[in-house]
Structure 1
Amino acid sequence: MNEEAEPAFPGARLAYDLAGCLRFYSRLPVPALPGEGDPHAVPDFRTLPRMLPLAGFLLGLPGAGVLLAAWGLGLGPFLAAALAVTAGVLVTGALHEDGLADVADGFGGGTTPARRLEIMRDSRIGAYGGVALMLSLALRIGALATLLDRVELLAAPALLLAAALSRSAALAPLALLPPARADGAGAAVGRPSRRTLATAGGLTLLVALVALVLGLPVPGLVLMLGLGLGASLAVTALARRMIGGQSGDVVGAAQQAAEIAALIGLLAAVPA
């Protein structure tokens, strides 16, 4: 784990955590850093998520770049938004979408916590999961396309902020709930410390400040932050009631809900 690695350069601990976030949350080939130790070890979520907002920002860059390129080529708002969301899914390997589908199937099809957890472990996608995936993609593409239509190039920093914010907000289940199963990913990675959560929150506000400088309106930023966190807390409360805790799938569902809510929140503050 990163806390045990011997730092080889100034800021090494933060760099190790950033690299760990990028490896865990994406398919990017991130090489081992000097002095990092085993880059494939189980991540230590007591400290690693402090760099998650920055990692989310970086993971949003391919989608933002595709969005700007497609818009510049005159492909229109819908196709540009669809291509941008596709780029994001490819970068992450549909990690969060997979969690959302599993949660939808488990919560929708199970009648007891044990049965819900059993369904969530099934690799097959059922009707609830399929509908959840379709709605998630449609809502994100629709929100981005509408933003392009209203604010044009400012949709790119909005996408970057949503990518950073949603991943920070998705820490809520890990911070507030116990693992739903003793042998799951939620139990293996550990619980973020208060200092880790504070650092992640501070970096999220820093990304929001960058978006503000780039031209996003203050009311929109406030709604993005508030609704994004609120959506994640709603998923957290639902997970507590349905399975009595959190899992990796719940975190993925929280991220999807937070990203959708953040983009819609910004739309609500931008005149049609």
Structure 2
Amino acid sequence: MMPRTEILKDVVADFRIAASFVTIVPVASSKPAGDGAIARATWALPVAGLLVGLAGAASYALASKLGLAPGTAALLALVTTTLITGALHEDGLADTVDGLGGGRTRERKLAIMRDSRIGSYGVCALILSFGLRWSALATIANPWAVALALCAAHAAARAGVPAFMSLVPPARPDGLSASAGTPPGRSVAAAFALGTLALTLALGPGKALAGLILLSLAGLIMARLAIRQIGGQTGDILGAFEQVGEILIMLVAAAFLHAGG
């Protein structure tokens, strides 16, 4: 049986890998990034997401304390979370929409997704993403309710990523997703459990169930689309999946948590 100190070291190492995988925070890992370490560490993605959500919540609370309007505070919260993640997921969303919408063949779609330039489809996707999330947070308004929504959205949106990686094969042999590997079943289950816990604590059981259903439907639709159009998933597809998850959970939260209700 592994000693508790070794278990704790592994947990910390996994969190460092997960945090470095979805943020620009310079967190060095004591565990090698190769040999499936990233895939095994995906269980900690919801935890890393929770910290991103907390940073956004702190930004919103500070803005509210200074007397700024909910709309302005919501924008600052989004700026904070985007800076922490280095716009990684937004970049994935834009590349995905540009590639799937602008390419005619599988090869062309993948080439567009790898192009650092952004097209009109990608611009529209980013406008919609920021607009929907901003309007949801501004509608919620109450700082405590906003904190719950941000934490739930950032944790739950990343909780489904390991399952997506496990069920949908990489579209190409190279790239971020392929190099990360396939998450083992225990990492998929742990991530799902953490995401469900975050949703339940933030929104309550009934609303959490609604969020889980929407996330599952979004995952199935995106998986089918990715497989049909490019033969599988890429790092950009994973980023787009996370963004869609954030949007859905924030909209669910806005429907139930607005005005502190």
**TM-score over 0.5 for the alignment?**
yes
Other-structure match for 2:246: 259
Amino acid at match of 1:223: A
Quickly say closer, same or farther: Cα 1:42–1:73, change in 2 above 3 A: farther
- Map 1:224-235; keep pairs closer than 5 Å: 224-235=211-222
Q: How does 1:41-80 map to 2 (within 5 A)?
A: 44-80=37-73
Deviation at 1:231, TM superposition (A): 1.9
In the alignment, what sits opposite 2:75? Answer: 82
Distance in 2 separating the partners of 1:172 and 1:241: 18
Instruction: Map 1:50-199 to 2 at 5 A.
Output: 50-148=43-141, 151-199=142-190
Q: Distance in 1 between matches of 2:132 and 2:238?
A: 19
**8 A Cα contact 1:185 1:247, kept in partner:** yes
Residues 42 and 118 from structure 1, CA distance in 2 versus in 1: closer, same or farther, beyond 3 angstroms?
A: farther
Displacement after TM superposition at 1:41 (Å): 5.3
Distance 1:204 1:188 in 2: 24
Q: 1:64 to 1:261 in 2, by over 3 A?
A: same
Q: How many angstroms does 1:169 deviate by?
A: 1.9
In the alignment, the residues of structure 2 paired with residue 82 and residue 233 of structure 1 have an alpha-carbon distance, to the nearest angstrom, of 30
Report the alpha carbon displacement of residue 208 of structure 1 after superposing the two structures with TM: 2.9
More helix by share: 2
Name the % identity.
41
Question: Contact 2:17–2:38 (CA<8 Å) still a contact in 1?
Answer: no
Tell me by how many angstroms 1:217 deviates.
Answer: 4.1
Tell me, yes or no, if the aligned pair for 2:94 and 2:121 is still in contact at 8 Å.
yes
Mapped partners of 1:31, 1:183: distance in 2: 24
Q: Relative to structure 2, which stretch is displaced further, 198-207 or 79-88?
A: 198-207
Residues in 2 aligned to 1:153 and 1:188: alpha-carbon distance in whole angstroms: 39
1:149-194 deviations in Å (ceiling 9; x for gaps): xx55211111101000001123343121111111222211111111
Work out whether residues 220 and 270 of structure 1, in 8 Å CA contact, stay in contact via their aligned partners in 2: no
User: How many residues matched?
Assistant: 257
**Distance across 2 between alignment mates of 1:238 and 1:166:** 18
CA distance in 2 between counterparts of 1:244 and 1:10 reads 37
Question: What is the aligned partner in structure 2 of residue 248 from structure 1?
Answer: 235
Contact 2:140 2:258 in 1 (8 A): no
Given the two structures, how large is their TM-score scaled by the length of structure 2?
A: 0.91
**Aligned AA (2:238):** V
Q: Would you say the 8 A contact 1:223–1:262 is kept in 2?
A: no
- Segments of structure 1 that go 5 or more residues without pairing to the other structure are 1-6
Cα distance, 1:42 vs structure 2: 7.9
2:8 equivalent to 1:11: yes
Scaled by the length of structure 1, what TM-score is found?
A: 0.87
Matched, 1:26 2:23: yes
Aligned equivalent of 2:193 = 202
SS in 2 for 1:124: coil
**Structure 1 residue 230: Cα displacement:** 2.4
Rounded to whole Å, the distance in 2 between the matches of 1:172 and 1:202 is 12
Question: How much does 1:74 deviate?
Answer: 1.9
> 2:213 is aligned with what amino acid?
G
C-alpha contact 1:171 1:251 (8 A) present in aligned 2? no
Partners of 2:120 and 2:188 in 1: CA distance: 35
What is the alpha-carbon distance in structure 2 between the residues aligned to residue 164 and residue 53 of structure 1? 4
CA distance in 1, matches of 2:208, 2:57: 18
CA offset digits 1:117-145 (Å, max 9, x no partner) = 01111110011111111111111111111
